[in-house]
Amino acid sequence: MRWENGIPDAHSPSYMLLMALCAVSAQTTALDAVFESALLDGPPVPDCDRYFSEAVSKIPERFVQAQDLDYLRSFGLLAVYSLRRGNHGDLHRYLGLYHASVAQNGFHDESRWPDDISMSEVDDRRRLFWCVYRLEIHSACVLGHVVRLPEAQVSVLYPRITPAMDPETHIWTAGWDYITDLFRLLEYAIFCLHGCKTRKPLLAVLSDRPSPTTLLDSLTRLKASKSRILLGLGDADNDFQSNRCKYMAVQITCTEALVSIMALLYCQAPAHEVMELAERFLEEVTRAPLIIFKVASSQIVHQLLGVGHMLSNASRFDNGRHRSEAKRLIAFLGDLVRNLEHDIPSAAKAGERLLKLAEATL
């Protein structure tokens, strides 16, 4: 196990990574957001900001060309920490450092990786790349910023699924792959709804948005190709009832709903279809135990807030005939999110925003 023999040199990338990892871990522990309560036993954990400040203090002013992968890992963790804290300036700073390093070292293209690395390290690199990609798409969807590295420019595969994996790890990896596919589709949904509207005609033909039916067809095909082992993952009679698998099931539900509603809005589908989809989504997500929400933290709060805003947009369709239904669902979302305010720091503000949005949906 890494670092079991002691703390690395304070000037090494490994030390910076350790401090970034401790910052996120302490942040998680402070919210009791762990599946195994035994992990919370023992002496008090130092304040997460101390670890964060220590990690930040080790960021070098300049980077050499052959950059250590631990820097990329650290920037990803510091970005996660910043997003959870609601510090969007720091989020962009560390995502910016990450993407600068990706560009400098060709991390987005496997053919430019070293030839002498093991398959285990290849899988680690793949997992790191797509984890930060998902963070980037999530924050672009929530905050409305540009996507710095579109998936069309990426030549990185997913980590391997191997026969040596135990069944639960196999399920987790298959679910992780499926959610990553959803995020890649979400990127196109964002582009369709918020892409440049002032592009010159000469250039517009080179980057036409997919048609509404193309986007929906892609989503339908993706859902149809979902691995069998993921079907019914959240059901009470499923063989896999660990919190880890329940968490994966909720992640899939939330991401599917987000992409589906965005696709329906792009298609200008009838408002009642959006309302019905949101109703089914809320029925599923409210069955999840509290620990799932705590572990998902601000990500699930952001997704629920996003669903509320999309319902508000859909309420204007069909001459506003479904506004009362949209208002009811948005208010329900507001109450659901506000009830998480003692467990997720960002929930109080998000819940108030949803309730105000419900009041404005007249």
Residue type at position 119: M
* pLDDT category of residue 233 using cuts at 50, 70 and 90: confident
* pLDDT category of residue 294 using cuts at 50, 70 and 90: very high
* pLDDT category of residue 65 using cuts at 50, 70 and 90: low
Place of tokens 């008090």: 44
Tell me the H-state helices in 205-289. 212-224, 243-267, 271-285
Q: Which DSSP string corresponds to 298-353?
A: HHHHHHHHHHHHHHHHHTTSGGGTTHHHHHHHHHHHHHHHHTTTTT-TTHHHHHHH
pLDDT digits (tens, 9 = 90+) for 94-110: 999 999 999 999 999 99
* pLDDT category of residue 66 using cuts at 50, 70 and 90: low
Token readout for 353 is: 């925003």
Distance, CA of 52 to CA of 297 (rounded, Å): 18
Coil, strand or helix: which one is 127? Answer: helix
Across the chain, what does the average pLDDT equal? 90
pLDDT digits (tens, 9 = 90+) for 5-59: 899 999 999 999 999 999 999 999 988 888 887 777 778 888 999 999 999 999 9
pLDDT digits (tens, 9 = 90+) for 312-325: 999 988 888 899 99
For residue 210, count CB atoms less than 10 angstroms from its CB and return exposed for 0-12, middle for 13-18, buried for 19 or more: middle
Distance, CA of 199 to CA of 194 (rounded, Å): 13
Identify whether the C-beta of residue 358 lies closer than 8 Å to the C-beta of residue 334.
yes
pTM, to two decimals: 0.91
Identify whether the C-beta of residue 317 lies closer than 8 Å to the C-beta of residue 275.
no
Identify whether the C-beta of residue 20 lies closer than 8 Å to the C-beta of residue 57.
no
pLDDT for position 208: 65
Element holding 236 (H helix, E strand): none
Residue type at position 189: A
Q: Is it the case that residue 362 has pLDDT exceeding 80?
A: no
